A and B are shown apart, each in its own frame.
Chain A
Amino acid sequence: MNQRHVNAVVVGAGAGGGIVAKELAAAGLSVVLLERGGWISFEQHDHDELFTRLQLAYGPDERHPRMAQTTPGQWRRVISSESGYSNNAACVGSGTVFYGAMGWRFMEQDFRMRTTYGVPENSTLDDWPISYADLEPFYEKAEREIGVSGDMTTNPFSPPRQRPYPMPAFPYNREGRMLKGAADRLGWHAFPIPMLRNSVPYRGRNACIGCRYCVGFACEINAKNGSHNTVIPAALATGNCELRINVMVSEVTVDERGRARGVHYFDGQDQAHWQPADLVVLAGGAIETARLLLNSKSPLFPNGAGNRHDWVGRNLQGHTYCGAEGHAAEETYDDVGAGATIAISDFNHGNPGVCGGAMLCNGFIVTPYSFTRVRPPGAARWGKAHKDFQRRYFKHRLEVHGPVQEIPLFESRVEVDPAVRDHWGIPVARMGGRRHPLVLEIARFIAAQAENWVREAGATDIWTRVPTGLQGAGGQHQAGTCRMGSDPTTSVTDRHGRVHEIDNLYISDGSLHVTNGGFNPALTIMALGYWVGHHIVQDWRGGRPR
């Protein structure tokens, strides 16, 4: 069925897509926002740990398989609840509905990794085509429009900012206070984690009440900020944006003159539709956006839209998490959520002999079933020992960890599987490759700092967590598969997120990241959403962009 022509069609209603849709709709463009999932509400799962951990609570459902690498050259079919899937939620707001909601800015060095560290062997480490200063006003816009609580006055490594956070920081919880004293003694510079969560009532939404169930759950009282409760309602309120849920986009059509004409999609009843538009914005996340481009073949782009130089799907990155934890004689648990309150940025950069690093922070509350997986290597998983561990550690665990910035590799990539198709017959994504060996070196260094921190804070019986192997690119915080750059032969989009050679096709999600920072990437994806949206509007000349 042919849909009415609109100015813009945006594919994916997560962090990046929701923001672009709102920016365009507010500028007067007619917008259709397409989302493969539905609306999720708190009432659907309550605070039910098993539902959120075991069910495909936020999607995508079984109709969306992928191929995960088992050994190099071998893949197995997985669905979103299985390991190796590298999931992003399929719902309006995507991960912003139930994330932990850390609202980090990347640092200045994170945008010029090659200049800072050189190019490690075999890697595609590079600088971004934009600087922190370019993105700073858009970080600020994200902090204000979506809503961030924070205070960087005690963090000397914080990148420069024009204005303070719109909401005061959250106080440290009990574990945070113990870690604050330890950081002071170590000469480190602790500060409260910036959170996309309301410390005070903000823009008509409630202040957080500190409940136990935050990461992994939709907020009971709407105090956690995502695109689903900020920009998407704002986009709809303009009257210029129509949101269609439970639809699956199969292809972007690119004509013989190299212009995107619109997208083909299937609705919730599997009926095929054609949505023509003056411009197309892809915001499906680093895996689905790459998959969609690769599946959009045309005479001009026989290997997929924007893929003339084989860079679509390359440089798949995530974060390599590492950390340390132990037992504190004093109770660390105060039942005040979300739990993660304190961080240091002392080891993001400037580590001798190490390329990059990570921030370190304490963790979110681990609910009782998930806590059964909190164990040192080799610990008994059952019997009285299990029960004793739960009782001894549940309220006495002292833990910090950090997301190590990965070093991109050309061989780590998203492809489309030659044989396996999804429910609609669309070739599925398959992920392959590995992590750069240097990443393990960085992780060991960061884990050693984590160990120092928890020991100084009073932990005993400490163990560290460092990945043992290099397998599996992607995982959490997938990024990098359609990197922005100034050279069309070594990147997929220009510095504004516009796909090279296709003037009216844009990308607005983590795919654009040249590198992925040593921080949770949500606020950077949001800032890029404002950045890309701003440039689309600036270039808009009514009917077609410049």
Chain B
Amino acid sequence: MNPALPASHRTAVTRRSALKLTMMGLAGTAVGAGGSAVFPWLAKGRPGPYRFFTDAEAELLVAICEQIIPRDDVGGATDAGVIHYIDRQVAAGMLREHAPTYRRGLEAFRLTCLAAHQAAFTELSTEAKTEVLRTIEAARADPAPWGEPAQDAFFRLVVDHTMQGFYGSPRHGGNRGYLSYRMLGLDYPQVLGRNKFRSLEP
């Protein structure tokens, strides 16, 4: 675990991103030694374990997603790795068309929160966070920072993608350990029928 990361991130670090962090550490050395040709993308020095989001964007998005599916007696969006689903799919997957929307939407969201509360979203109480989200969901926030996407449309998009990351197959980056299936009491993989199945076909 990288102590330099903000607390809200530490829970979101998967083995994959931890590996990438390790590689970043190595790369720091390698770049210093003029070895950037080995990992040319690392020479850009982009910080953080994410493929698309900056650390600051990811920190904000993690906090939003955690309000959309909060942890209670079972895990929430953060525990399920929803941020990694969205990051992976926006970077180069099923949601790549939404990349500019995320970039602009998260910035508008940040400005909205600062203007209303003089504080970052991540620093607010749960009640205040909920209030900010309800305001944006209902398109009642000051529209000034919001052009395209509109605030309510952006929120609906994040809600939908959070659901995808929480309930979709782990192969896409989220639903870690089939957390949501366990919450719903669904076997995975399915057993039913298979134990008795003999195919007629070769």
Residues of chain A at the chain B interface (Cβ within 8 Å): 46-51, 54-55, 201, 204-206, 209-212, 221-222, 335-336, 367-369, 371-372, 381-384, 386-387, 390-391, 394-395
B193/A204 in contact, CB under 8 A: no
Say how far B99's CB is from chain A's closest CB, in angstroms: 15
Additional A-B contact list (4), CB under 8 Å, known A204-B201, A211-B192? A335-B190, A335-B192, A368-B184, A382-B67
B69/A382 in contact, CB under 8 A: yes
A383/B167 in contact, CB under 8 A: no
Which residue of chain A has the shortest Cβ distance to B76 in the bound complex? A387
Which residue of chain B has the shortest Cβ distance to A203 in the bound complex? B200
Q: How far is the CA of A381 from the CA of B70 in the complex (A)?
A: 13
B94/A205 in contact, CB under 8 A: no
9-residue interface stretch from B14-22, B102-110, B115-123, B168-176: B168-176
A386/B94 in contact, CB under 8 A: no
8 of the cross-chain contacts (CB-CB < 8 Å) are: A46-B169, A50-B168, A212-B186, A371-B167, A381-B159, A386-B69, A387-B72, A387-B183
Q: How far is the CA of A221 from the CA of B186 in the complex (A)?
A: 21
Given A49-B168, A368-B186: A387 and B200 interface contact (C-beta under 8 Å): no
* B163 within 8 A of partner (CB): yes
Q: How far is the CA of A51 from the CA of B169 in the complex (A)?
A: 9
Q: How far is the CA of A201 from the CA of B199 in the complex (A)?
A: 10
B184/A391 in contact, CB under 8 A: yes
Say how far A221's CB is from chain B's closest CB, in angstroms: 6
Given A54-B94, A221-B199, A369-B164: A387 and B192 interface contact (C-beta under 8 Å): no
Say how far A469's CB is from chain B's closest CB, in angstroms: 20
Set of chain A residues within 8 Å of B190, measured between Cβ atoms: 47, 211-212, 335
Partner of B185, one of A48, A206, A395: A395
Interface residues on B, range: 35 or more
Set of chain B residues within 8 Å of A210, measured between Cβ atoms: 192-193
Set of chain A residues within 8 Å of B186, measured between Cβ atoms: 212, 335, 368
Set of chain A residues within 8 Å of B201, measured between Cβ atoms: 204-206, 222
A206/B199 in contact, CB under 8 A: yes
Most buried by B among A221, A222, A387: A387
B72/A384 in contact, CB under 8 A: yes
Q: How far is the CA of A390 from the CA of B167 in the complex (A)?
A: 11
Q: How far is the CA of A66 from the CA of B93 in the complex (A)?
A: 24
* B43 within 8 A of partner (CB): no
Given A212-B190, A382-B159: A54 and B164 interface contact (C-beta under 8 Å): yes
Which residue of chain B has the shortest Cβ distance to A381 in the bound complex? B159
B183/A390 in contact, CB under 8 A: yes
Q: How far is the CA of A336 from the CA of B193 in the complex (A)?
A: 9
A204/B200 in contact, CB under 8 A: yes
B181/A368 in contact, CB under 8 A: yes
Which residue of chain A has the shortest Cβ distance to B95 in the bound complex? A54
A383/B183 in contact, CB under 8 A: no
* B41 within 8 A of partner (CB): no
Given A48-B171, A50-B94: A394 and B184 interface contact (C-beta under 8 Å): yes
Residues of chain B at the chain A interface (Cβ within 8 Å): 67-70, 72, 74, 76, 94, 130, 133, 159, 162-164, 167-169, 171-172, 180-181, 183-187, 190, 192-194, 196-197, 199-201
Q: How far is the CA of A395 from the CA of B185 in the complex (A)?
A: 9
A391/B193 in contact, CB under 8 A: no
Q: Which 9 pairs from chain A and chain B are nearest by CB? A: A209-B193, A369-B167, A50-B168, A368-B167, A382-B68, A372-B163, A48-B169, A394-B184, A210-B193
A369/B168 in contact, CB under 8 A: yes
A50/B172 in contact, CB under 8 A: yes
Set of chain A residues within 8 Å of B162, measured between Cβ atoms: 382
Say how far B59's CB is from chain A's closest CB, in angstroms: 19
Which residue of chain A has the shortest Cβ distance to B134 in the bound complex? A383
Say how far B24's CB is from chain A's closest CB, in angstroms: 29
Set of chain B residues within 8 Å of A206, measured between Cβ atoms: 197, 199-201
Set of chain A residues within 8 Å of B194, measured between Cβ atoms: 209, 211
B193/A211 in contact, CB under 8 A: yes
Say how far A91's CB is from chain B's closest CB, in angstroms: 19
Say how far A77's CB is from chain B's closest CB, in angstroms: 14
Say how far B157's CB is from chain A's closest CB, in angstroms: 12
B68/A386 in contact, CB under 8 A: yes
A372/B167 in contact, CB under 8 A: yes
Say how far A79's CB is from chain B's closest CB, in angstroms: 11
Q: How far is the CA of A204 from the CA of B199 in the complex (A)?
A: 10
Set of chain A residues within 8 Å of B74, measured between Cβ atoms: 387
Q: How far is the CA of A352 from the CA of B186 in the complex (A)?
A: 44
Q: How far is the CA of A50 from the CA of B95 in the complex (A)?
A: 11
Q: How far is the CA of A54 from the CA of B187 in the complex (A)?
A: 23
Say how far B130's CB is from chain A's closest CB, in angstroms: 7
A49/B169 in contact, CB under 8 A: yes
Most buried by A among B94, B133, B159, B200: B200
Say how far A140's CB is from chain B's closest CB, in angstroms: 24
A383/B164 in contact, CB under 8 A: no
B187/A335 in contact, CB under 8 A: yes
A55/B167 in contact, CB under 8 A: no
Q: How far is the CA of A212 from the CA of B168 in the complex (A)?
A: 15
Which residue of chain A has the shortest Cβ distance to B191 in the bound complex? A335
A209/B197 in contact, CB under 8 A: yes
Set of chain A residues within 8 Å of B163, measured between Cβ atoms: 369, 372
A50/B180 in contact, CB under 8 A: no
Set of chain A residues within 8 Å of B180, measured between Cβ atoms: 368
Q: How far is the CA of A384 from the CA of B200 in the complex (A)?
A: 47
Set of chain A residues within 8 Å of B70, measured between Cβ atoms: 383-384, 387
Q: How far is the CA of A391 from the CA of B180 in the complex (A)?
A: 10
Q: How far is the CA of A368 from the CA of B183 in the complex (A)?
A: 11
Given A50-B164, A204-B201, A383-B68: A391 and B183 interface contact (C-beta under 8 Å): yes
Set of chain A residues within 8 Å of B171, measured between Cβ atoms: 48
Q: How far is the CA of A225 from the CA of B87 in the complex (A)?
A: 39
Q: How far is the CA of A49 from the CA of B184 in the complex (A)?
A: 16
Say how far B187's CB is from chain A's closest CB, in angstroms: 7
Say how far B171's CB is from chain A's closest CB, in angstroms: 7
B197/A390 in contact, CB under 8 A: no
Q: How far is the CA of A211 from the CA of B74 in the complex (A)?
A: 27
Say how far A234's CB is from chain B's closest CB, in angstroms: 16
Q: How far is the CA of A50 from the CA of B168 in the complex (A)?
A: 6
Q: How far is the CA of A110 from the CA of B171 in the complex (A)?
A: 46
Q: How far is the CA of A55 from the CA of B96 in the complex (A)?
A: 12
Set of chain B residues within 8 Å of A212, measured between Cβ atoms: 186, 190, 192
B167/A205 in contact, CB under 8 A: no
Say how far A43's CB is from chain B's closest CB, in angstroms: 14
Q: How far is the CA of A372 from the CA of B199 in the complex (A)?
A: 35
